[in-house]
Amino acid sequence: MQNIGKIADDLGLKPEHVLPYGHYKAKISLDALSGDALSGDALSGDSLSKGASGRGKLIVVTGITPTPAGEGKTTTAIGLTQGMGRLGHKVTVNLREPTLGPIFGIKGGGTGGGMARIVPEDEINIHFTGDAHAVASAHNLLAALVDNAVFRNAVPGLDASGIHWTRVTDASDRGLRQVLTGVGAPIGGAGTYGPLREARFDIVSASEIMAILALADGPDDLRERISRIVVGVTRSGEPVSVAGLGVQGALITLLHQTVMPNLVQTLEGQPALVHAGPFGNIAHGCSSILADRLALSYADYVITEAGFASDLGFEKFMHIKTRPRPGYDSGLMPSAAVLVASARALKWHGGARRRDLNRPNEGSVMAGGPNLAHHVGIVTGFGLPCVVAINRFSSDSPGELAAVKNIAMEAGATAAVECDGYARGGAGTEELAQAVADAAQTQDGSRLTYAYPMEATAQDKTLALAQKIYGAADVAWSAQALNQLKYFESQGWGNLPICMAKTHLSISHDPALRNRPREYTFPVNDLRASVGAGFLYALAGRIETLPGLPTRPRALEMDVSPEGEVIGILN
> Domain containing 231 — which CATH number?
3.30.1510.10
Half-sphere exposure of 170 (CA within 13 A, CB side): 21
Distance CA 494, CA 75 (A): 38
CATH number at residue 474: 3.10.410.10
Is residue 278 domain-shared with residue 409, that is, in the same domain?
yes
253-272 pLDDT tens trace: 999 999 999 999 999 999 99
CB-neighbour burial class of residue 311 (10 A; exposed 0-12, middle 13-18, buried 19+): buried
**Residue at 267 is within a domain:** yes
DSSP characters over 423-439:
HHGGGGSHHHHHHHHHH
What's the pLDDT at 445?
A: 62
Is residue 382 domain-shared with residue 484, that is, in the same domain?
no
What's the pLDDT at 52?
A: 32
Contacts of 12 (CB under 8 A, 6+ apart): 40, 41, 42, 298
CA 11 from centre of chain: 24
CA 550 from centre of chain: 22
**Residue at 288 is within a domain:** yes
**Residue at 303 is within a domain:** yes
- Residue where a domain stops, chosen among 227, 249, 271: 249
Is residue 322 domain-shared with residue 383, that is, in the same domain?
yes
Strands (E), 182-300: 197-199, 201-203, 230-233, 239-241, 262-266, 271-274
541 secondary structure, DSSP code: S
CATH number at residue 303: 3.40.50.300
177 secondary structure, DSSP code: S
Closest CA to 420 of 411, 433, 408: 433
**Residue at 549 is within a domain:** no
Residues 245, 537, 176, 195: is their CA dihedral positive or negative? positive
Distance CA 87, CA 343 (A): 27
**Residue at 554 is within a domain:** no
**Residue at 23 is within a domain:** yes
Helices (H) and strands (E) in the chain, counts: 19, 25
**Residue at 490 is within a domain:** yes
Distance CA 36, CA 227 (A): 31
Number of domains the chain contains: 3
Q: Which residues of the chain have pLDDT under 70?
A: 39-54, 107, 185-192, 444-446, 571
What's the pLDDT at 353?
A: 94
Is residue 281 domain-shared with residue 154, that is, in the same domain?
no
Is residue 268 domain-shared with residue 394, that is, in the same domain?
yes
Is residue 268 domain-shared with residue 387, that is, in the same domain?
yes
CB-neighbour burial class of residue 126 (10 A; exposed 0-12, middle 13-18, buried 19+): middle
Peptide bond into 239 cis (omega under 30): no
Distance CA 291, CA 214 (A): 9
CA 239 from centre of chain: 28
> Three-state SS string across 444-509, please?
CCCCCCCCCCCCCCHHHHHHHHHHHHCCCCEEEECHHHHHHHHHHHHCCCCCCCEEEECCCCCCCC
Do 391 and 341 contact (CB within 8 A), yes or no?
yes
N- to C-terminal Cα separation, the chain:
21
Helix (H, G, I), strand (E, B) or coil at 40: coil
Residues 182, 183, 185, 190: is their CA dihedral positive or negative? positive
303-348 pLDDT tens trace: 999 999 999 999 999 999 999 999 899 999 999 999 999 999 999 9
Amino acid at 519: E
Is residue 19 domain-shared with residue 95, that is, in the same domain?
yes
Do 30 and 19 contact (CB within 8 A), yes or no?
no
Distance CA 59, CA 174 (A): 36
Distance CA 471, CA 464 (A): 10
Closest CA to 131 of 163, 99, 162, 88: 99
Phi, psi (rounded to 5 degrees) for 549: -85, 150
Amino acid at 369: G
pTM: 0.94
Q: Which helix (H) or strand (E) holds 410?
A: helix 398-411
Is residue 188 domain-shared with residue 137, that is, in the same domain?
yes
**Residue at 105 is within a domain:** yes
Phi, psi (rounded to 5 degrees) for 305: -115, 140
DSSP characters over 298-354:
H-SEEEEEBSSSIIIIIHHIIIIIS--BTTB-----EEEEEEEE-HHHHHHHTT--G
What's the pLDDT at 46?
A: 37
- Residue where a domain stops, chosen among 224, 249, 274: 249
What's the pLDDT at 186?
A: 63
Distance CA 512, CA 435 (A): 35
- Looking only at Cα atoms, what is the longest distance across the chain? 77
Is residue 99 domain-shared with residue 153, that is, in the same domain?
no
Amino acid at 12: G
What's the pLDDT at 55?
A: 76
Is residue 263 domain-shared with residue 408, that is, in the same domain?
yes
Neighbours of 188 (CB within 10 A): 5
Residue 238's domain spans which residues?
Answer: 132-249
Do 390 and 419 contact (CB within 8 A), yes or no?
yes
Is residue 220 domain-shared with residue 354, that is, in the same domain?
no
Is residue 373 domain-shared with residue 350, that is, in the same domain?
yes
